[in-house]
Amino acid sequence: MSAVDEILEGKDICICAGSGGVGKTTTAAAIATGMAARGLKVCVLTIDPAKRLADSLGLKELGNEAKQVDPALLERHGVEMKGELWAMMLDAKATFDELVARQAPDEESRDRVLDNRIYQQISSALAGSQEYMAMEKLFELHTEGRFDLLVLDTPPTRNALDFLDAPRRLTQFIEGRSLRVFMRPSGIAARVAGRSATVALGVLKRIVGFDLLADLAEFFNAFSGMVDGFQARAKRVNTLLADPHTCFLVVCGPQGEPIDEAVYFHRKLVEAKLPFGGVIVNKVHYPAERLRGDGGDLRAALVERLGDDELAGRVAENFADYQALAERDARNIEHLAAELRTSGVIRVPYLDEDVHDLGGLAEINRYLFASSDEREALAAGRT
């Protein structure tokens, strides 16, 4: 089936999702480069603090503002740019601060939140905030409308789905409704809630220490004027994710575990009614398929050709090892295609060179942007 540019036809958001270590960042960068080369103004966003995207785009650093990748540099690597390629590395804390500043009714409320220690921990270090802010930045950029296409490289959470759930979880936390009710034991709410809640709160104080609760109370009070704004925004973000102009691409590797995770992730996307676009499998060992059944004793043929028994043995052994991996990959991908009820699995071969620069991205794009027939022909040429 289709190449990435066909899948992304008419889309304005592409979200690359998958578990860690499958080449998601590289794939996102390659897709953005390829779409920009075809004439779009594209921005790729990454959240990875390891600056992987900057590495692969040959940029020294990325900041919370989009930067354009030098077209001359791209051309030097054989990428002819008809459009523009921009990149941004998300600074979760800065994005969160901006969001608070935008939602706060006045400067005083803004500063109360920014100075709160619980807020400082949430906004910089703790789980969920990166994912939430990725969605937030995506929404912001989409609203601004400066780009034809936004490509998001999702954070490498263990569970590829955490990022979908993060906005909801974090909004609920900020909302803090059930906690705020109990924070004022003398208030009407506490009387309504009853004695058991008061006792529970007392027990909790003994465990977590009163200070933590006091800080939390302060945090919720500081946020109280902004809750509605945050909720409304989270709702609009969710609407954007489910929009038919948004496209989720699942990225995975050919081993059993990443394949299982891709199947699981696809199921969750379907359940959540989010627009699934296709699946990309990286680092695939292609079998020498059309050559199989050639018959003949490979080892004997190698001995004859090389005139070296021992070397022929090593070549044959290496080939057998490679073919075993290729067969495994083929089995796993067949399973993936069956589970996803799609024939459109885009396979990118395990390239001889480790991909970490623009040249590598261009090489990957020969596969991502090829029709399936072209792709098979390219891969066959490699074996």
Which residues from 132-171 bind other proteins, rule CB under 8 A? 155-159, 169
Nearest CB to other proteins, comparing residues 243 and 327: 327
Q: Which of 30, 37, 52, 364 binds other proteins (CB under 8 A)?
A: 52
Considering only residues 294-313, where is the footprint of other proteins by CB under 8 A? 294, 296, 298, 301-302, 305-306, 311
Residue 184 touches other proteins, criterion: CB under 8 A: no
- Least separation, in Å, of the C-beta of 48 and other proteins? 6
Query: Segment contacting other proteins (CB under 8 A): 43-51, 77-85, 266-274, 363-371?
Result: 43-51
User: Is residue 245 classed as helix, strand or coil in its secondary structure?
Assistant: coil
Contact 97, 114 (CB under 8 A): yes
Closest CB 212 distance from other proteins, rounded Å:
4
User: Least distance to other proteins from the beta carbon of 276, Å?
Assistant: 22
Q: 24: helix, coil or strand?
A: helix
Coil, helix or strand at residue 154: coil
Q: Tell which positions 242-261 bind other proteins, by CB under 8 A.
A: 253, 255-258
Distance CA 109, CA 104 (A): 6
Q: Which is nearer to other proteins, 50 or 377 (CB)?
A: 50
In the complex, minimum distance from the CB of residue 357 to other proteins, in angstroms, rounded to a whole number: 8
Check binding of 125 to other proteins (CB under 8 A): yes
Tell me how far the alpha carbon of residue 114 is from its chain's centroid: 28
User: Interface residues for other proteins in 272-291 (CB under 8 A)?
Assistant: 288, 291
Judged by CB under 8 A, the chain residues 187 through 216 that form the site for other proteins are: 196-197, 199-201, 203-212, 215-216
For the bound state, the minimum distance from the C-beta of residue 257 to other proteins, rounded and expressed in Å, comes to 7
For other proteins, the binding residues in 317-346 under the rule CB under 8 A are 317-319, 321-322, 324-325, 327-328
Please spell the DSSP secondary structure of 340-376, one letter per residue: HT-S-EEEEE--SS---SHHHHHHHHHHHTS-HHHHH
Nearer to other proteins, 84 or 162 (CB): 162
| DSSP sequence for 299-319 | HHHHHHHH--HHHHHHHHHHH
20 binds other proteins (CB under 8 A): yes
Quote the CA–CA distance of 11 and 226 in Å, as a whole number: 32
Of 64-72, 80-88, 96-104, 113-121, the window that binds other proteins (rule: CB under 8 A) is 113-121
Site string for other proteins, 63-102 (x = CB under 8 A): ----------------------------------------
> Which residue blocks in the chain are alpha helix, DSSP H?
4-7, 24-37, 52-57, 71-76, 92-103, 107-115, 117-124, 129-144, 162-175, 177-183, 188-193, 195-208, 210-223, 227-242, 256-271, 298-306, 309-340, 358-368, 372-382
Out of 22, 35, 45, 79, name the contact with other proteins by CB under 8 A.
Answer: 22
Q: Quote the tokens at residue 351.
A: 């390239």
CA distance 319 to 313: 10
The strand pairing partners of 298, in sequence order, are none
Helix 92-103 crosses helix 107-115 at what angle (to 10 degrees)? 150
Among 356, 371, 374, 377, binds other proteins (CB under 8 A): 356
240 binds other proteins per the rule CB under 8 A: no
Q: How far is the CB of 273 from other proteins (least distance, A)?
A: 24
Measured from the CB atom, the residue of 121 and 239 that comes closer to other proteins is 121
Query: Which residue, 104 or 118, has its beta carbon nearer to other proteins?
Result: 118
- Which of 12, 55, 70, 140 is close enough to bind other proteins by CB under 8 A? 55
Please tell me the distance from the alpha carbon of residue 57 to that of residue 25, in angstroms, as a whole number: 11
377 counts as binding other proteins under rule CB under 8 A: no
Instruction: Starting at the earlier edge strand, list the strands of the sheet with 13-17.
Output: 67-68, 84-89, 41-46, 149-153, 13-17, 246-252, 276-284, 345-349
| Closest CA relative to residue 47, chosen from 119, 124, 133 | 133
